[in-house]
Structure 1
Amino acid sequence: MAKEPTPLKNIYISLICLFGVLVGGTLGYMIVEDWSFTESLYMTIITVSSVGFKEVRNLDLKGEWFTIILILFGMGTIVYGITNLTAFVVEGDLRKILRKSRMEKNIDKLKDHFILVGLGRVGKNIAYEILRMGYPLVAVDSNEENLAEFDSSSQNFFTLLGDATSEKTLEKSGIMRAKGFVSALPTDSENLFVVLTARQLNPNLRIIARVNEEENSEKMIRAGADKAVCPAHIGGLRMASELIRPAVVDFIDKMIREKDGKLRVEEAMITSSSPILGKTLMEAQIPKKSGCVVVALRRACGKFEFNPKADTILNNGDAVIVIGEIEKITELKKLVS
């Protein structure tokens, strides 16, 4: 079924019709009355607009009948245009255009934000978690309903309607300034194309992609994704864990699944400018100063150290993995940076 024309499109049609009336009226007077172009255009305008100025010259019978027809067409076009303009304002299209313009200006100001492509069932859960942690997020989706239905009052949430396989759309999302990128579209082929485009635009961006088939994970990584996540695989592991280790699953749920949950497993990167660089865990006093519990350390080489000892030295590029409340984790990142 064909889509009904939008109010904005109807306004364009109205302008085209009005232009057609002006052209037709001008040519008509030039042919019927043998007037000049300027006289014919002037007569057409005062006739269509009904301003009541005197005719350029006296009309003969053919000119009078032509004027009657021109008035009918002209008034019909004006009424049609006013109706479309009213619908454009009342139905919210004008408000949507202004909102879109403001949104794009706000996105242009973002830096070190996350980009989420696909705000479906999987994407919504990703968005809620990112926003709960206080990070700015740009959600890109070609389905306007998905963007409108997402319930978020966060000032860090920005939306962009468009096709994520298009370079222009990703550029509008601020991909060159982004910190991370997630492609959570319904099909593996769509995600593969988006990952290829995103990696081409920003070679240094961390990219996570959704895959529906586990065997496609390697292909997604070769296409440019840093990690490929299969919801079906993770869902299966979760169900098995519910049988084998229910207490552990309940604990993880408290951290992740509950929308109001404040406990999280988080990481804090040690950089060259970190005040705790080169110190031991005992000297850094992370639990005392931040209230977070250190559970592991990931070295810059990728090796993990679980329950690291107090004399473990923190080096550049290491990631300290902790458990703590969201507010405490914020304090930890201030301490580390």
Structure 2
Amino acid sequence: MDKPAERRLQDRRRAKPSLRKGRLLHVRSGLSAEKTLLVRIGIVIVLLTLVIAVFWFDRDGLRDNLDDHISFPDILYFAMITVTTVGYGDIVPVSHTARLIDAFAVTPIRIFIWFIFLGTAYELVVQRIVEEFRLSRIQKQLQDHIVLCGFGHSGFIAAQETVAKGHPADRVVVIDDSEDRIHLAAEAGFVGLLGDATSEDTLIKACVGKAKAVIVSTGRDDTTILVVLTVRHLSAATKIVASIKQEENIKLANLSGADLVVSPPRIGGYLMADAVETSHATPFLCDLMSAGGKMVLSERRAEADEVGRTMAEITGGMVVQVHSHGRNIPFTERNRYIIQAQDTLLIISPPGDGKIPSPAHPL
């Protein structure tokens, strides 16, 4: 996450404890299960070797009740049964030194090895079962949710605006490969999913097939396009909104399956150019795009009582554009164009003054 967004989340967390925390849908450790297991096996081997070495150098303090002779296989055998606390009594420490070594050197190693065994069993078996149960339970609740791929500065703003526009925070699934960002997303009330957004497995866990929309803002155009391709492969109907920086990559994102491509540099350029010649246009446009502004820009299907009227005759806001059967009807036609059934209206209105969007065509 960019520093400004991260600071805002951390400052808000310090200032006031969150009353509604999000959930971590799936958080992995830094090492894979195979690497974790290999590391712990290596630690156990080192500790067992240390125990064997200690008993071998102090073998005179041990007694074999069978043949009264301590060989290396006897030391290996005694080390194993001592560490595993089996203890058959056929080999026993008889000297004070051997008993002190067993009490103060071998016993802590034995306890540490058992902690490794129990921790590994919990992490690789019990914890995985618990995580799979939590994963399936949360997935059952995900329907018409929003999947946000990338929780950088743009992704953070997109998530905030999505909630401000009325979408529940616990229906926003944030995917990122940074564990810190995922925990920050959960602190902000979202569902955090740690993983690679280009991976089919990760996207399936996020239930992209049942999502209302997928917002892709990874910060890299190549990664964004790959995510778009993967999402479109998994779901032909899910709406995909992609953030693209380079002009030449916009066409590629569209061809990859994005329904709408947003170019922050282009939008920023437009706003800065307007700010040169005007003093109020840029603040108004920014206010218009924000859910917390004095005016809101909304999109909805035409109601039955609006069909047959002109754009200028619509109440509850100003219709600035109509999308009709693949055509965009501009504001200049507001006194001539007659609204038809199934038209989509783009309306500027005060917050709460517009009509409720039709469920058949969500915003």
Q: Same fold per TM (> 0.5)?
A: yes
CA distance in 1 between partners of 2:155 and 2:218 (Å): 8
How far has the Cα of 1:230 moved from its partner? 2.0
Cα 1:302–1:181 shift into 2, 3 Å: farther
Aligned pair partner of 2:329 in 290, 293, 304: 304
1:197 aligns with 2:225: no
| Change over 3 Å in CA distance of 1:106–1:335 after alignment to 2 | closer
What CA RMSD, in Å, does the superposition of the two structures yield over aligned residues? 4.8
How many Å apart are 1:334 and its aligned residue? 7.0
| Residue 121 of structure 1, CA deviation | 1.6
More off after superposition, 14-23 vs 135-144: 14-23
- 1:111 pairs with one of 130, 143, 148: 143
Identity of aligned residues (%): 24
The alignment partner of 2:327 has SS state of coil
Map of 1:74-223 to 2, 5 A cutoff?
A: 75-79=108-112, 82=115, 102=134, 105-135=137-167, 136-150=171-185, 153-154=188-189, 157-223=190-256
2:296 corresponds, among 243, 260, 264, to 264
Q: Deviations over 1:96-139 (max 9, x none)?
A: x9799747633442222221111112211211111111223211
- The answer to whether the 8 A contact 2:183-2:192 is kept is no
1:235 to 239, 260, 268: 268
Which segment is superposed worse, 105-114 or 212-221?
A: 105-114
CA distance in 2, matches of 1:336, 1:188: 29
User: Please, which runs of 5 or more residues in structure 2 have no aligned partner?
Assistant: 1-28, 57-63, 68-76
**1:33–1:112 CA distance, 2 compared to 1 (3 A):** farther
Structure 1 residues 281 and 143: alpha-carbon distance in aligned structure 2, compared to 1, 3 A threshold: farther
Matched ranges for 1:244-259 at <5 A: 244-257=277-290
Deviation at 1:77, TM superposition (A): 4.0
User: Secondary structure of 2:280's partner?
Assistant: helix
* Cα contact 2:174–2:185 (8 A) shared by 1: no
Write the letter of the residue equivalent to 2:142: L
Structure 1 partner of 2:341? 315
Aligned position for 1:225: 258
- The 8 Å contact of residues 300 and 319 in structure 1, kept in 2 or not, is answered as no
1:276 maps to 304
Could you report, residue by residue, the CA deviation over 1:124-165 in whole angstroms, capped at 9, with x for unpaired residues? 1211111111223211111122233348645xx322110011
Q: Aligned partners of 1:33 and 1:244: how far apart in 2?
A: 100
Deviation at 1:251, TM superposition (A): 1.7
TM-score computed with the length of structure 1 as normaliser: 0.68
Give the TM-score normalised by structure 2: 0.64
Q: Is the 8 A contact 2:186 2:192 kept in 1?
A: no
Higher relative contact order at CA 8 Å, sep ≥6: structure 1 or structure 2? 2
Judge conservation of contact 1:113–1:138 (CA < 8 Å) in 2.
Answer: yes
What amino acid is the match of 2:319? Answer: V
- Partners in 1 of 2:355 and 2:191 — Cα distance? 22
Amino acid at match of 2:181: N
Would the aligned equivalents of 2:149 and 2:174 in 1 still touch at CA under 8 Å? Answer: yes
Would the aligned equivalents of 2:93 and 2:99 in 1 still touch at CA under 8 Å? no
Matched, 1:331 2:356: yes
Q: Note the residue ranges of structure 1 that are not aligned, 5 or more in a row.
A: 36-41
C-alpha distance in 2, partners of 1:335/1:223?
A: 26
Amino acid at match of 2:304: I
**TM-fit CA distance, 1:210:** 1.9
